[in-house]
Amino acid sequence: MAKEKKSDVSRRDFMRGAAKAAGVTVGTAATIKQAQAQGQVYKSILPQTIMGANNKIRTGHIGVGGMGRRNLGEFVLGMHKELNIEPIAICDLAPPQVDRAAGMVESVIGKKPSTHTYFEEVIANKDVDACVICTPDHWHTIPTLMASDAGKDIYTEKPLCTTIIEGITLVDTIKTNKTVFQAGTMQRSGEQFQEAVEVVRSGYLGKIARVETWSHDGEPVEGIGAPADQEAPPWLDWERYIGWTKPVPFNKNRYIYNFRWFLDYSGGKVTDWGAHLVDIALWAMGEDKKPKTIASQGGKYILTDNRTTPDTLEVVWEYDDYILSFSNKVYSNTKPYPHDRDDKYGIAFHGTLGTLLLTRNGYTIIPMNRGCEAKERGGAPMNQPHWKNWAHCIRTRETPICDIETIFNTTLTCHLGTIAYRTGHKLEWDSDNLKFTGPSDDIAKKANALAYQEYENGFSLKAPYYNKWKV
């Protein structure tokens, strides 16, 4: 808006603009290009067949723990007829997870998929058209790179990566290989989020200079506990699980779900729930805008467990015309706004004419000084349209709603907050060169070392990525 004035933005207007912003259309599928065959470093991998609208998408699932199994069961198997999709390969380091997931496939499809401990076997399978990667965060990058090199399309969970150099490499590889890539930030496919983004962009709230995001939990003081290190279970290849990170003894909290609370493998809450929330904030405010400084304060003040991420955190990103924040307190789920539609998570856009509170349950617009009208809407499905968008784009070669550059921008922003926390300083960021520049040379050097952390244990960001593959 050129001037601040009362606007009457109808729901139809919201959706028209949101559909344009999302770029999501479902039409007749077109013939696609033959997939690339660059898997010579793993095995002789043949190109995929050309896929038409009625061709089945055959998926390989790498990681079938909590989120991986939900993706497999609720969306791939739950929508397999609608999407014309069939899981044909299952992989996980944990045999019980593999068996459970394979049983799910067999009970729905009537055929048992191939089962694997090591993901390179899935990527080497010439019949797999697309890979669904739901591993711990530090294992998102290499399987994604290898699947892209092998000519397979990809769905990878958020956050995209654990270091900035990983993200840069992924963007280059995915774009070079013309891979159809969808990230698991499915909120972008929810109508309430699309409408809210259009409300912000339309000027309905006036000028916005403050955006808040938050994730507040209610965990007990003991948190995830502090179990002692011990021998890994005999069925678990702990060395493979550690991957490129520093070798440490097996600890059950570093495995399965709780890996995300260890800085070796993830960034804690800011890269976990923050990745969802910050993603929508950036979409609404303009993804071409880049932060100038990042400050992060917090610590482990309450919980007595063995996590290495903070239990209390405040991150602030400074842009040219607004500031964005992320707040987390693990031990308390008290929400900051009474009009919020969720008990734990949310986003607030504060404008001169009103505030919009947004969650997965919908949004509420609170007018200020009669600057706009109060509006509300409830939640809408997110995952189902997100998977539909991916399948549609595989067939048409269109760009998915959460493509590689989009998720890299979101993940990068979150990791800037983690790195500011780890250095203990307000950092200056050069978005053109993707480097920290201050507040001093020494601090910038320390921050850049975290952003561009080198791989260990024989792993590399260049093909073949490792010298001990099983195939």
The tens digit of pLDDT for each residue in 251-260 reads 999 998 999 9
Fold of 34-187: Rossmann fold (3.40.50)
- Tokens 């959460």, located at residue: 402
The C-alpha angle 189, 290, 341, rounded to 5 degrees, equals: 40
For the domain covering 191-378+408-451, report its CATH number. 3.30.360.10
Cα–Cα distance for residue pair 293/50, rounded to 1 Å: 46
Query: Based on the number of CB atoms within 10 Å of its own CB, is 30 exposed (0-12), middle (13-18) or buried (19 or more)?
Result: exposed
Cα–Cα distance for residue pair 182/166, rounded to 1 Å: 17
HSE at residue 9, side-chain half, CA atoms within 13 A, is 28
- Tokens 């409300």, located at residue: 199
Q: Give the per-residue pLDDT at 338.
A: 77
Q: Give the per-residue pLDDT at 54.
A: 65
HSE at residue 288, side-chain half, CA atoms within 13 A, is 0
Q: Give the per-residue pLDDT at 51.
A: 59
Supply φ then ψ for residue 154, to 5 degrees.
-145, 140
Strand pairing class (435-438; 427-430): antiparallel
Q: How far is CA 66 from CA 48, 75, 99, 236, 243, in A?
A: 29, 13, 14, 17, 20
Q: Which residues of the chain fall below pLDDT 70?
A: 1-54, 340, 343
Query: Based on the number of CB atoms within 10 Å of its own CB, is 33 exposed (0-12), middle (13-18) or buried (19 or more)?
Result: exposed
Cα–Cα distance for residue pair 74/381, rounded to 1 Å: 13
Cα–Cα distance for residue pair 200/385, rounded to 1 Å: 22
Question: What is the residue extent of each domain of the chain?
Answer: 34-187, 191-378+408-451
Cα–Cα distance for residue pair 386/397, rounded to 1 Å: 15
What is the Cα 217 distance to its own chain's centre?
20
